[in-house]
Structure 1
């Protein structure tokens, strides 16, 4: 089956959507599908390898900013027709002019279309609802999905009750479960996040400094990631004059795996985390996770089982403090996470995607067998 993945943002820009679209398309190619990524993000991607899908980079000279550009419908239709695609998988975030247009055009051309939402629409629901109603999106013959139950709930509300399935991000849990590193003198607390406002790294740093004041020398913290707030965070840390907290900047996946293998606890502070792939990687590595309730992380972290869910920064601080005072609780959850793999893995994601393509085909009066039988 020829599948076109359409996304405004893609590599070499780094982020959750960019990496997940690449990985999904690559996994589908390995499974025998013929996939291509269509984007308005400028290239090339210098680290692309032979397993990556081919990329069509559309003219980004239209109205907009950065990779977010308005593309005329006829240009999109022509691009899809030239590639003789059998199905279109559109990837939406909060603002995605290319992807919105692609969903409308592909459905109008009779192509089975899946629309995956990768962000939390709670804060933009009134605006998104007005736009969706204006476009008639709730009545499009497409299969809607979102990356988590929390994200799906907001999309369902925006679409006035339309069916929205859950298609989570994928992971290979076994690849993250390395032999545990040597025990340190104190527990190591880790967080991997983009240093941007919506991920709340400054609030996380303040929480860690508060914990340092109440539990001096009782833990070590490592914050991994790059972004525009990193210089300010380093100034804040220097001004605090405390040790035991490290800002590493960006690390590659191999370095992050090694760090997680020697860590004891993972923190996910964002209250609008649509999925939380970094938290899932940490949970797959055996780490207990503390995350905000009502986020996508709650799909794979259940309170008191794989970690703990909190309602506020104060709740996060109190939970970490309690674990530092009772490390046996931390060890018990870590033992569970190392023994029991998460249910989210790439094969389950590929199976769910195929089910969505079948649903999308039915909405266009077609059978999935017709698409699977198409030559690659």
Structure 2
């Protein structure tokens, strides 16, 4: 099949998942074209059958802001015609589902090759935050309804979409996935020693995110401070974003500067995950929790909020612990219990990695997307 994947280029989960899906599809013999305003974070030039299609937004003085939607529609139409796409797969509803619908209408109205079928994958804040805003909700709901197939990364997100937008069509749940041959713990004694510094007995707690308010990184610092008061520990914060300066101030005010490292954005989080003892994710909302899945694959137990799709990823008491978002004391107690019982912590980490291999590996999940592609193509021929 020839597949066009529309996604954001940023470090966020939807762009990462879309790019990894494209990579695996290309490896499985399909021709894949990534369509975005910049090369996505995980895309690498030169991979066979895996191409990047740039969306160019020309400046025009009349417009108050760049007309990305129009440029995106135009690019989808061009690529569909030139590459004879069978599928246009829009990741993240806003504005990609709308762009896919408009492109479908343009292609259907013109004579020419077969019109590609459209699929929309919902990832989270495109529904729970942006898509549910009254300024966007009607057009987002319409665009989703007009897709030939719709998927969501968790049952929680599918339920939220139906409730908040009144969607009546079927939403198929296809979870996020990992390359488990790559995502596994790879010890790095030098990095672990560097993070520990003069305290080589310290446990290492880790958080990775795009530093948005929904991630509640202040709560990460709060839990760490309570843990650090009881056991030797270091905290590593991987990522960057709008909350970073505020969190830096919190760390300074709490007197934790010597024990907290801001690692910034990392092209590869695997070395950092491989030195961690626990992963903290006290988010206000997570429709899936890809960062938690990556930690689990690296044998790191997860202490997280019991919200959204996280209970579908983290099994309480088996692969990690889930507490109410505001229950930082409960998260602290769970973290301390594991840090003070190394055998249990290590067993939980192994169980987490086993669970990822069983439920979330790419060789299990990507064929589900392929079957969906085949189904919507077949339906279009009826």
TM-score, with length taken from structure 2: 0.81
**Structure 1 residues 97-106 or 57-66, which shifts more?**
57-66
The question of whether the paired residues in 2 share the 8 Å contact of 1:191 and 1:223 is answered with yes
How big is the shift at 1:283?
Answer: 0.3
Match of 1:343 in 2: 359
The question of whether the paired residues in 1 share the 8 Å contact of 2:15 and 2:41 is answered with no
Q: Where do 1:166-181 residues align within 5 Å? A: 166-180=173-187
Match of 1:111 in 2: 116
Match of 2:320 in 1: 307
Question: Could you give the per-residue CA deviations for residues 161-220 of structure 1, whole angstroms, max 9, x where no partner exists?
Answer: 32111222231123222355669623221111112222222232233223334x2x4322
1:228 equivalenced with 2:242 (yes/no): yes
1:265 corresponds, among 278, 296, 300, to: 278
The question of whether the paired residues in 1 share the 8 Å contact of 2:301 and 2:348 is answered with yes
Report 1 or 2 for greater relative contact order, CA contacts < 8 Å, sequence distance ≥ 6: 1
1:163 equivalenced with 2:161 (yes/no): no
Secondary structure of 2:248's counterpart equals helix
Aligned-pair Cα RMSD in Å: 3.0
Question: Could you give the per-residue CA deviations for residues 31-66 of structure 1, whole angstroms, max 9, x where no partner exists?
Answer: 111111222x14698983311722222232376857
1:285 corresponds, among 298, 306, 314, to: 298
Q: Where do 1:117-196 residues align within 5 Å? A: 117-120=122-125, 121-123=127-129, 124-125=131-132, 127=134, 129-132=137-140, 135=142, 137-138=144-145, 140=146, 142-157=148-163, 158-180=165-187, 185-196=201-212
Unpaired segments ≥5 residues, structure 2: 109-114, 193-199
Give the Cα–Cα distance (whole angstroms) in 2 for the partners of residues 296 and 186 of structure 1. 31
1:202 equivalenced with 2:215 (yes/no): no
Give the Cα–Cα distance (whole angstroms) in 1 for the partners of residues 159 and 242 of structure 2. 31
Unpaired segments ≥5 residues, structure 1: 367-376
How big is the shift at 1:351?
Answer: 0.5
Give the Cα–Cα distance (whole angstroms) in 2 for the partners of residues 66 and 159 of structure 1. 30
How big is the shift at 1:303?
Answer: 0.7
The question of whether the paired residues in 2 share the 8 Å contact of 1:284 and 1:338 is answered with yes
Give the Cα–Cα distance (whole angstroms) in 2 for the partners of residues 223 and 126 of structure 1. 31
How big is the shift at 1:304?
Answer: 1.0
Give the Cα–Cα distance (whole angstroms) in 1 for the partners of residues 227 and 22 of structure 2. 42
Match of 1:212 in 2: 228
How big is the shift at 1:294?
Answer: 2.9
The question of whether the paired residues in 2 share the 8 Å contact of 1:283 and 1:289 is answered with yes
In structure 2, do the counterparts of structure 1 residues 364 and 159 end up closer, same or farther at CA, with 3 Å as the change threshold?
farther
Secondary structure of 2:359's counterpart equals coil
Secondary structure of 1:290's counterpart equals strand
In structure 2, do the counterparts of structure 1 residues 234 and 67 end up closer, same or farther at CA, with 3 Å as the change threshold?
farther
Match of 2:45 in 1: 49
Aligned pairs, number = 354
In structure 2, do the counterparts of structure 1 residues 74 and 19 end up closer, same or farther at CA, with 3 Å as the change threshold?
closer
The question of whether the paired residues in 2 share the 8 Å contact of 1:261 and 1:285 is answered with yes
Match of 1:25 in 2: 22
In structure 2, do the counterparts of structure 1 residues 136 and 266 end up closer, same or farther at CA, with 3 Å as the change threshold?
closer
